[in-house]
Amino acid sequence: MKHTTPIQIRMSDIDPFGHVNNGAQCNLFDYARSNYIETVSNTKIDWLTFDLVLVNINIDFKKQILIHDNIVCETEIYEIGNKSMKMRQQLIDANSGEVKSICHSVFAGIDRQKNVSKEIPELYRKTISTYEGWE
């Protein structure tokens, strides 16, 4: 995957067993997802006008993550349909390359004024295709 986001593990991410909590990993994926979108679009997200919404998320927890692990998140869009697109992410130990968890998510286009689904804008298709090297 081309896009990598360094992850800072915080004390609040840790559960009573000393692992990064599963719910906290959702937040780490969210952070990297936003970073990916801002990198690809070369602009900060305006959350009041952003016309994509997360509609599905699935996470496979493979290995525990501990507070001092050096973690990065790799992110890619791997499919764009008419009204949705699919993203794959991995939390990885940067030292060993070991995959700790894998996230698959789906975005849908949304018309925020009408609160209905809409097609993925052509600009997103072109920008993502160029970034991911599909062209």
The CATH class of 3-132 is: alpha beta
Tell me the pLDDT tens digit for each residue of 90-134: 999 999 999 999 999 999 999 999 999 999 999 999 999 999 999
In 20-61, where do the E strands start and end? Answer: 52-61
Record the pTM: 0.94
User: What is the rounded CA–CA span in Å between residue 12 and residue 21?
Assistant: 9
Give me the residue spans of the domains in the chain: 3-132
pLDDT band, residue 2 (cuts 50/70/90): very high
CA distance 82 to 108: 9
- Predicted confidence (pLDDT) at residue 135 exceeds the cutoff of 90: no
pLDDT tens-digit series, residues 41-75: 999 999 888 999 999 999 999 999 999 999 999 99
| Token duo for residue 28 | 């780490």
Q: Kindly indicate the confidence band of residue 18, based on its pLDDT and cuts at 50, 70 and 90.
A: very high
